[in-house]
Amino acid sequence: MDIGPIWRAMLRNKAGFILIALQIAVTLTILVNAFGIIQESTDKISAESGIDEANTFTLASVLFTDYEREQRKVLIDEDLDLIRNTPGVVNAVASNSFPLRQGGWSMSLALEPGNQTAESVSTAIYFVDEHGMEAFDLGLVDGRNFLPEQVTWDDPDDNTWPAYALITEELAKEIWPDETVSYVGKTVFINDDDPVNIVGVVDKMQSPWPNWDNVVERSMLVPQRRPSEFVRYIVRTEPGMRDQLMPEIEAALAASNKDRIIRDVNTMDHTRKLAYVGDSAMIKILGFVVLLLTIITALGIVGLTSFNVSRRTRQIGIRRALGATKPAILRYFLIENSIVSAIGLIAGAALAIGLNIAMVEAFALEPLAWYVIPIGMLVLFIVGQFAVTGPARRASNISPAIATRSG
């Protein structure tokens, strides 16, 4: 089909076609960048924390009566004995935090003492005992776990950092990017000049902060116990036993000591949901915006085509009287819409790339995958062709006699 008449007809109503092309361009720009954000957020939400989330729950013990330091130590030991000896419990540990909790400790590590500069590496800190690895279900890829004699209680009169640590593989690669043999036995410095010897490397353990940019996979486990009034227990159970043991252990701990309350009893599923509530809401909002813009664009194409059909009723009738078939009329409007869509999609692709570059620089987002823009263009093109089909069919059904009388 000769596109000359189609092009000339479009020029006569260029304002309407420019508006639709612009609408398509804006929709594509927002659609593909929103999809990129949704994809990145979805990947983040589904990322494994490194612990046995399905069979783990957490709870906190909060003293409301003044206990001496030694009394608090005894209470923590009694609590852990009670929990660990409960049938169905794999292991338990008292720790300052756990993955996805959104609160905890972080420190900087350096390869030389007193060198806490821009070259230092940030990491999350987990205080645990020798049961920490099994309680969190961490996979050891090199080295060994802490020995019981390496685990100490923190001393308020001694600020020296514990001399041993377990670190995640991601943290090890960040500190020693050129190492190809083993990280075990290496030394880092923390708290300016305290040496820490790496005794083992675990495959994965996320930090407590899921939105901690590219640092979320960097964690260090330290063999130290802290006898505070607020103690957090992480409990890992046999598969299928978690929900049964949660109320049992909560009640047992509450009954064992009346000078405290047991609170914040949560599954890791609940913790994960809370950690990503903002990301989940953003995914829903962006999804709604994309759907709404796509519908508005489709309705705009329907409206413009319907307007053109009503405005060109006589012209269509004359073409029908001169022998134009229904498929030819239908094809005319589909080609017309294809031209408008192509202009809008090409402009939209350029805008989408520009916006993505700006967002990557401003918000440290991942660049769009190469296939996102082509898929977005294809989707919008198909939506546009479907949208124009209805008005185009009505145009193809115009009777030559009725069209002639309308003139």
User: Does residue 186 lie in a domain region?
Assistant: yes
Q: Say whether pLDDT at 26 is over 50.
A: yes
Quickly tell me which residue has 């957020």 as its tokens: 41
314 with 254, same domain: the answer is: no
Please state the φ and ψ torsions of residue 119, each to the nearest 5 degrees: -85, -5
Domain limit, last residue, from 267, 299, 314: 267
Decide: 210 and 100 in contact? Cβ < 8 Å.
yes
The pLDDT value given to residue 356: 94
| 160 confidence band (pLDDT: 50, 70, 90) | confident
User: Does residue 154 lie in a domain region?
Assistant: yes
| 329 confidence band (pLDDT: 50, 70, 90) | confident
Domain limit, last residue, from 238, 267, 296: 267
| 405 confidence band (pLDDT: 50, 70, 90) | low
- Give 249-291 pLDDT, tens digit per residue: 999 999 999 999 999 999 999 999 999 999 999 999 999 999 9
Q: Span 237-256, mean pLDDT?
A: 97
Phi-psi region of 267 (alpha: psi -120 to 50; beta: other; left: phi over 0): beta
Rounded to whole angstroms, how far apart are CA atoms 132 and 50? 13
Q: Say whether pLDDT at 294 is over 60.
A: yes
User: Does residue 289 lie in a domain region?
Assistant: yes
- Give 128-156 pLDDT, tens digit per residue: 999 999 999 999 999 999 999 999 999 88
> Among 99, 105, 135, 92, which residue's Cα sits nearest to residue 272?
99
User: Does residue 262 lie in a domain region?
Assistant: yes
90 with 227, same domain: the answer is: yes
Q: Span 37-60, mean pLDDT?
A: 93
193 with 288, same domain: the answer is: no
Decide: 199 and 143 in contact? Cβ < 8 Å.
yes
215 with 93, same domain: the answer is: yes
Decide: 373 and 349 in contact? Cβ < 8 Å.
yes
397 with 283, same domain: the answer is: yes
Provide the percentage of residues in the chain whose pLDDT is more than 90.
66
User: Does residue 273 lie in a domain region?
Assistant: no
Q: Say whether pLDDT at 106 is over 60.
A: yes
Rounded to whole angstroms, how far apart are CA atoms 345 and 352? 10
Neighbouring-strand partners of residue 267: 57
How does the average pLDDT of the chain come out, rounded? 90
Q: Nearest-5° angle of CA 226, CA 232, CA 237?
A: 125
User: Does residue 272 lie in a domain region?
Assistant: no
Q: Say whether pLDDT at 116 is over 70.
A: no
395 with 290, same domain: the answer is: yes
User: Does residue 246 lie in a domain region?
Assistant: yes
User: Domains in the chain: how many in total?
Assistant: 2
Q: Say whether pLDDT at 403 is over 60.
A: no
Q: Say whether pLDDT at 1 is over 70.
A: no
| 406 confidence band (pLDDT: 50, 70, 90) | very low
| 92 confidence band (pLDDT: 50, 70, 90) | very high
Domain limit, last residue, from 224, 242, 267: 267
The pLDDT value given to residue 349: 96
339 with 248, same domain: the answer is: no
CA 257 to mean position of chain CA atoms = 41
205 with 69, same domain: the answer is: yes
Decide: 166 and 146 in contact? Cβ < 8 Å.
yes
The pLDDT value given to residue 138: 96
The pLDDT value given to residue 215: 76
The pLDDT value given to residue 313: 75
34 with 169, same domain: the answer is: no
Q: Span 102-110, mean pLDDT?
A: 91
Range of weakest confidence among 38-42, 152-156, 394-398 = 394-398
Q: Say whether pLDDT at 120 is over 80.
A: yes
257 with 312, same domain: the answer is: no
- Give 202-220 pLDDT, tens digit per residue: 999 999 998 886 678 999 9
More reliable by pLDDT, 120 or 33 = 33
The pLDDT value given to residue 273: 94
The pLDDT value given to residue 2: 61
Cα pseudo-dihedral 27, 29, 30, 31, rounded to 10:
70
84 with 136, same domain: the answer is: yes
260 with 133, same domain: the answer is: yes
According to the per-residue pLDDT averaged within each range, which of 90-94, 152-156, 387-391 is highest? Answer: 90-94
Q: Say whether pLDDT at 407 is over 80.
A: no
Task: Look up residue 223 and give its amino acid.
Answer: P
| 181 confidence band (pLDDT: 50, 70, 90) | confident
Stated pTM of the model:
0.82
The pLDDT value given to residue 317: 76
Domain interval for residue 399: 4-46+278-406
